[in-house]
Structure 1
Amino acid sequence: MIVGTAGHIDHGKTTLVKALTGVDTDRLKEEKARGITIDLGFAYARFAKDAVTGFVDVPGHERFIHTMLAGAGGIDYAMLVVAADDGIKPQTLEHLAILDLLGVSRGLVAITKADLADPARLENLTDEIGAVLSSTSLRDAEILPVSVAAGQGIELLKERLAAAECATAASAVGGRFRLAVDRSFTLSGAGTVVTGTVLSGSVGVGDQVTVSPAGRSARVRSIHAQNQRAERGFAGQRCALNLAGEGISKDAITRGDMVVDPHLHAPSDRLDADLSVLESETKPIGEWFSARFHHASAETGIRIVPLEGPLLPGERRRVQLVLDRPIAAAVGDRFILRDVSARRTIGGGRLLDLRAPARKRRSPERLSYLQAASLSHAGEALAALLDVPPFLVDLDVFARDRALSEAELQNAIRSASAEVIEGSAVRHALSKRQRAAFSDEVQRVLSAFHVENPDLQGIGRERLRLQVTPRLPPPAFLVALRAEQTAGRLVLEGAFVRLPGHEVRLSEKEEELYARILPHLEGEERFRPPRVRDFAEALGVDEREIRRILKLCARLGRVDQIRHDHFFTRQTTAEMVAIIRQVAANAERGEFSAGLFRDRVNNGRKVAIEILEFFDRQGVTIRHGDVRRVNPHRLDLYEGPVPEADEGRGSSPVERPDFKFYRAGS
């Protein structure tokens, strides 16, 4: 358990911690000289069996509230200190408001210097404190009079802390690891050491971690958890990590950084959140209101964009926070806002979305999304998000932004009864209702297209994607279409999609003419076939008729029109793609010239360039000056093997039954 002190300056927080632990948390020379706490102090003690209780002692002076906030973010239990002779003071109230905004509901109040007050004064102060607590998250906190000088109430306080330690629920050790850095220093013989509170997950010696938001990779060389050497550190503990790695130094890691599981490194500077404004504010918060943002141990400037109108004092509404610099955070994290002059606390709240959009941020759809995202339970949030636009959740982003482990993500999927669309690089979820609606919508669009275009092979895959709701990203859409094809509900033909019963046919006379043309497009001459006018002269048929038949065959997926007068069979087009892949694989940096391709297909330079320009237009190749490289993102339609380097003609991928042919004009 981590206990955080709170209270006005000179009310005895540090003295009380020393009485409980034997440790003087004022470690700086200036703190000794001035007799006040300036920076965070740390101490540890055993109150309950083998458990170690950690203390974060924070400054009470108003000038150091920002330091207090750096230590308050990860506490489990609050110890609010009020001096009997001084009573409730401004920083008492501000610290209490901060604890309330952070959602700290477990704690007690220690009335220090109790030996300086008579029983009547203690009774009146107890009533006064109780009244102040009544409207906060600490309304049930016990109030104990103590005196370090007289030894009064110290043992009872230790008993209460022991009971609280035993009652502390297990933290989110199943999540992914996050540690909020509050100190970074160099230890002789060890190197760089960072300390902080583990917010979620666990970390072990030898683990790879990332320092975010900078993105520096590091290895954990050793761990101290709750001031003891350990092999692992867990959520809810204060840990010191000895880190090693390129660029890792005490100056490269500062207070406000996060040490995280590498999967979680995705800093953001635009966040949507719930914001509660304190009743003590005198003005509403309007458009682009400037403030200081405190999250865990980080602090930065922000501008506030209200999403539901200006926020009046005492109100809670949705806002967008535009940060001066990126931070590492997670959905559900608490934050505090202070004014730009650092004189008062404005309010605080909870983060709802780390990938907030700059446009359409106030639309009804967006506000519905934030309402769903506000649910704390991962399974409930996932189920709610699947029922609001865009009716689709990227599961990897969902898990990353909530610091969920794979096991926790799978539990959320089961809880939400979600349908998962999973491919090699995509993992999205739909509700069962939306997955069924997707299938129905695909059938409706295909049916309507075939009625309007009976002579076309099918609809282009991208055109279909843009007409279907929910609109899936291209990789997920392809995975979904393949599932539909496996179920027999549609047919994928290259870049085209059709219903199983749809087929465009040539007439008997047109088939006869195509049968006369086809031999000239195959065989040894397939990479340099005759032009349309050559066919017209050789077959004695009008050139326009030849071109019409070949264009119709292109719609049917039998041929591809490379240029105005050049047609290649679909098998030849696919074979040329496989050759290009092999040429690129053998070329330095994967870049090849037109000459290398020309030599492989053994045709003229002009025709070779026309063929490559065709593939440029389709996105299969990308040209840079005189060289080209393969675009791997357009090869999902070409699943056949790459030919061997011996140029053997029998290695054509079209001989494989699982090969998918490319469709011109996609």
Structure 2
Amino acid sequence: MANIVIGTAGHIDHGKTTLIKALTGIETDTTKEEKKRGMSINLGFAYLDLPNNKRVGIVDVPGHEKFIKNMVAGLPGINLVLLVIDAAEGIMPQTKEHIDILTLLGIRDFLIVLTKVDTVDPELKELVIEDIRDQLADTPLADAELIETDAVTGTGIKELLTKIQARSEEVQERSESGLARLNVDRVFSVKGFGTVVTGTLLDGSINIGDDLYLYPSEKKTRVRNIQVHETDVKNAQSGQRTALNLANIATDDIKRGDVLSVSEKLEDTWMLDVKVTCLPEVVGGIGLWDRVRLLIGTREVMARTVPLGIDWIGPGEEGFLQLRLEEQVAVKERDRFILRSYSPMQTIAGGEVLDAAPHKHRRFKVEILESLKAKEEGSLDELITDFLINKKQPFTNEKALLEYLGVAKEELQPILVEMEAEGRVIKTKAGYLAQASYQKLADRATEILSVYHKQYRLRFGMPLEEFRSRMRGILAEKEISALIALMKETLVKEANDKLALVDFNVSFNKYQQIAKEKIEQTLAKNGYTPAKKEELFELDKNAEEVLEALNGDSVVFLTHEYVLLGKIFDQAVNLIREYITENNQMTLGDFRDLTKSSRKSSMLILEYMDKQEITKRVENYRVLGKMS
């Protein structure tokens, strides 16, 4: 009979740990923190003696979202999963994510275990079961058997044991071929014995006295003792939960995520060629150079995605990726993995390793169906263009290009200079931008401004902050500034913190022209005394919209309430510059005397000049500011 490992999965507090204790008598929540919280944090391990005297391993994986990576670590080597669902709550969001992860990891053998059934009304229980079947209808669990249990009263526990035994007899014996390999999930020290590690043996077999090599450090160790289900054995076989007592190595030399193998030539890699399935609900799919979390074996490493043969992998689609890793891993072909988004952390895809040590591919020069071998070499400038156009973020710095291409800076720089001279690439303060990408961004920006001009025909342009807010979903602040700088060469103009298309001009009809003249004449008579907007609105029924259009042109808005004629303001600026140049400073009283205006009017004008950095207030006087 095959070696069997059973996993439990499900939402927090749905009773996984209690169920395992009822089946085995073993408490898998072992740490003080786990007992305090009432939930599994790390992987819990137990074993179960079936009625036919077969002993099977059980892995209790954490149910809380924060411990998803611990859950994934427990799944390699699992043959059967008990999906645990509380009879009072039914399927929860984390239950769904667990199902996604299990399915993506290739697990297809499930038993649905409904827990706490004696604590709910029979009618409610039936409704929950009906809802479970509805929600699982389009998943591999659609036809899974459902067993009703209550770990406290003992309801259904014997039936569950019988079902587990029947399933265990159907599992095929694992092949003992291949070099033994174990992903380390726990490391600890036992007094009198030394370093102990645990994990599921994925390939081959291990015997007492075998030499093992630790990856990625490549340190050599020796197997002093082996335990399977807390029993000393002479060897461990593929598929068994195993504890190894190791000689000649300290606990500080090993960490969770390391790999032990009898092979001294297991290759560490920075890249993986993989086949992935993207979950249907993933917004945006998987694109070029997305930063993701790769969960493989007992490791979590950051990686960048490079779609092969396609631009991107859409929601619900399958495709090939090359993963560019930020840390090396030691894995093998056919190992399963999960991809989670960088932030917020959500499961987005999963799949299988096709090549555990590939070379860097040319994305669209690769024959995907023939073992992902390069069909022909692409030139460096083609790779640069492809990268700049297809990655989600349009602007790219030199560091990202070097990481992606894997070339030296001395090789990259001349190509970029040549591409810039030919107009295919634009260099900005925010990074490099493909000409095609710039055109798309410029078209988007032009559309935004065009719609604004049609809606507000008498305004010079869109407030700069409003334009930035419209572009923030696409670009970062620094990138928006770079885009505006590029567009100002030919497409847009900027004045008074407003942005407009270069060919747009405010045009007044004859009625609006009359209102304009009334406003300007009134402000001219006021001189250095600012006028309230409401007073100007009374001059003409068109005055309100016309005054808004004059803002930044012939009229200066000192505050949201007071305005001044632009020519008068310019005169005030000249007066101040001449006075301070001659006297080194100016007081509020000095300005009031120069302009023969009131203290309030002088204060309004000077405070606006302070904001524009024409002047700078120092104690009770002013000096010239940066803009003078």
Q: TM-score, length-normalised on structure 1? A: 0.54
Match of 1:291 in 2: 292
Change (3 A) 1:284 1:230: same
Deviation at 1:56?
0.8
| Equivalent-residue separation in structure 2 for 1:300 and 1:45 (angstroms) | 33
Match of 1:360 in 2: 362
Deviation at 1:74?
2.4
Instruction: Give 2:36's match in structure 1, choosing from 33, 46, 55.
Output: 33
Instruction: Point out where structure 2 has 5 or more consecutive residues left out of the alignment.
Output: 377-628
| Equivalent-residue separation in structure 1 for 2:8 and 2:41 (angstroms) | 14
- Kindly provide the CA deviation profile for residues 553-574 of structure 1, in whole angstroms up to 9, marking residues without a partner as x: xxxxxxxxxxxxxxxxxxxxxx
Deviation at 1:155?
0.6
- Kindly provide the CA deviation profile for residues 368-427 of structure 1, in whole angstroms up to 9, marking residues without a partner as x: 3336xxxxxxxxxxxxx9xx979xxxxxxxxxxxxxxxxxxxxxxxxxxxxxxxxxxxxx
Deviation at 1:120?
2.8
Please show how residues 327-406 of structure 1 align to structure 2 within 5 Å: 327-341=329-343, 343-365=345-367, 367-370=368-371
Aligned residues of 1:62 and 1:343 also touching (Cα < 8 A): no
Aligned residues of 2:226 and 2:235 also touching (Cα < 8 A): yes
Change (3 A) 1:345 1:210: same
Change (3 A) 1:338 1:20: same
- Kindly provide the CA deviation profile for residues 71-107 of structure 1, in whole angstroms up to 9, marking residues without a partner as x: 1222111011000111110110000110000111112
Please show how residues 143-182 of structure 1 align to structure 2 within 5 Å: 143-182=146-185
Q: Answer yes or no: is 1:15 the counterpart of 2:14.
A: no
Please show how residues 466-545 of structure 1 align to structure 2 within 5 Å: none
Instruction: Give 1:47's match in structure 2, choosing from 27, 38, 50.
Output: 50
Query: Which amino acid in the other structure matches residue 296 of structure 2?
Result: H
Aligned residues of 1:100 and 1:138 also touching (Cα < 8 A): no
| Equivalent-residue separation in structure 1 for 2:192 and 2:290 (angstroms) | 48
Deviation at 1:208?
1.1
| Equivalent-residue separation in structure 2 for 1:361 and 1:343 (angstroms) | 27
Match of 1:281 in 2: 282
Please show how residues 73-88 of structure 1 align to structure 2 within 5 Å: 73-88=76-91
Instruction: Give 1:131's match in structure 2, choosing from 117, 131, 134.
Output: 134
Q: Which segment drifts farther, 338-347 or 233-242? A: 338-347
Query: Which amino acid in the other structure matches residue 369 of structure 2?
Result: S
| Equivalent-residue separation in structure 2 for 1:166 and 1:368 (angstroms) | 37
Deviation at 1:364?
3.7
Deviation at 1:272?
0.6
| Equivalent-residue separation in structure 1 for 2:89 and 2:217 (angstroms) | 45
- Kindly provide the CA deviation profile for residues 186-226 of structure 1, in whole angstroms up to 9, marking residues without a partner as x: 11111111100011111101111111122111111110123
Match of 2:556 in 1: none
- Kindly provide the CA deviation profile for residues 305-343 of structure 1, in whole angstroms up to 9, marking residues without a partner as x: 111221111111001101111111110111001111363
Change (3 A) 1:118 1:316: same
| Equivalent-residue separation in structure 1 for 2:350 and 2:268 (angstroms) | 20
Q: Answer yes or no: is 1:215 the counterpart of 2:218.
A: yes
| Equivalent-residue separation in structure 1 for 2:150 and 2:36 (angstroms) | 24
Match of 1:305 in 2: 306
Match of 1:103 in 2: 106
Aligned residues of 1:48 and 1:166 also touching (Cα < 8 A): no
- Kindly provide the CA deviation profile for residues 79-138 of structure 1, in whole angstroms up to 9, marking residues without a partner as x: 110001111101100001100001111120101011122333223322322233333333
- Kindly provide the CA deviation profile for residues 562-612 of structure 1, in whole angstroms up to 9, marking residues without a partner as x: xxxxxxxxxxxxxxxxxxxxxxxxxxxxxxxxxxxxxxxxxxxxxxxxxxx
Match of 1:322 in 2: 324
User: What SS does structure 2 have at the residue aligned with 1:72?
Assistant: coil
Deviation at 1:228?
1.6
Deviation at 1:263?
4.5
Deviation at 1:164?
1.8
Aligned residues of 1:177 and 1:261 also touching (Cα < 8 A): yes
Query: Which amino acid in the other structure matches residue 136 of structure 2?
Result: L
| Equivalent-residue separation in structure 2 for 1:78 and 1:234 (angstroms) | 21
| Equivalent-residue separation in structure 1 for 2:201 and 2:136 (angstroms) | 28
| Equivalent-residue separation in structure 2 for 1:83 and 1:337 (angstroms) | 28
Change (3 A) 1:206 1:342: farther
Task: Please give the root-mean-square deviation of Cα atoms over the aligned residues, in Å.
Answer: 1.8
Instruction: Point out where structure 1 has 5 or more consecutive residues left out of the alignment.
Output: 372-384, 391-666
| Equivalent-residue separation in structure 2 for 1:217 and 1:289 (angstroms) | 36
- Kindly provide the CA deviation profile for residues 264-302 of structure 1, in whole angstroms up to 9, marking residues without a partner as x: 511112001011111111112211000100011111111
| Equivalent-residue separation in structure 2 for 1:151 and 1:303 (angstroms) | 49
Q: Answer yes or no: is 1:231 the counterpart of 2:197.
A: no
Aligned residues of 2:306 and 2:363 also touching (Cα < 8 A): no
Query: Which amino acid in the other structure matches residue 274 of structure 1?
Result: K
- Kindly provide the CA deviation profile for residues 623-658 of structure 1, in whole angstroms up to 9, marking residues without a partner as x: xxxxxxxxxxxxxxxxxxxxxxxxxxxxxxxxxxxx
| Equivalent-residue separation in structure 1 for 2:15 and 2:268 (angstroms) | 39
Aligned residues of 2:274 and 2:321 also touching (Cα < 8 A): yes
Match of 1:206 in 2: 209
Match of 1:252 in 2: 253
User: What SS does structure 2 have at the residue aligned with 1:166?
Assistant: helix
User: What SS does structure 1 have at the residue aligned with 2:319?
Assistant: strand
Change (3 A) 1:389 1:231: farther
| Equivalent-residue separation in structure 1 for 2:17 and 2:240 (angstroms) | 21
User: What SS does structure 1 have at the residue aligned with 2:369?
Assistant: helix
- Kindly provide the CA deviation profile for residues 19-39 of structure 1, in whole angstroms up to 9, marking residues without a partner as x: 000011010011111211111
| Equivalent-residue separation in structure 2 for 1:251 and 1:342 (angstroms) | 32
Please show how residues 574-589 of structure 1 align to structure 2 within 5 Å: none
Query: Which amino acid in the other structure matches residue 18 of structure 2?
Result: T
Aligned residues of 1:103 and 1:137 also touching (Cα < 8 A): no
Query: Which amino acid in the other structure matches residue 323 of structure 2?
Result: L
- Kindly provide the CA deviation profile for residues 218-247 of structure 1, in whole angstroms up to 9, marking residues without a partner as x: 1111101233211110111000011113xx
Query: Which amino acid in the other structure matches residue 239 of structure 1?
Result: T
Match of 2:507 in 1: none
| Equivalent-residue separation in structure 1 for 2:170 and 2:344 (angstroms) | 36
User: What SS does structure 2 have at the residue aligned with 1:97?
Assistant: helix
Moved over 6 A (4+): none
Change (3 A) 1:263 1:215: closer
- Kindly provide the CA deviation profile for residues 120-173 of structure 1, in whole angstroms up to 9, marking residues without a partner as x: 322332232223333333333211111112211011001111112222211132
Deviation at 1:260?
0.9
Query: Which amino acid in the other structure matches residue 301 of structure 1?
Result: M
Aligned residues of 1:291 and 1:338 also touching (Cα < 8 A): yes
**Taking every aligned residue pair, what percent have the same amino acid on both sides?**
41
User: What SS does structure 1 have at the residue aligned with 2:256?
Assistant: coil
| Equivalent-residue separation in structure 2 for 1:189 and 1:359 (angstroms) | 51
Instruction: Give 1:115's match in structure 2, choosing from 105, 114, 118.
Output: 118
Alignment: residue pair count:
372
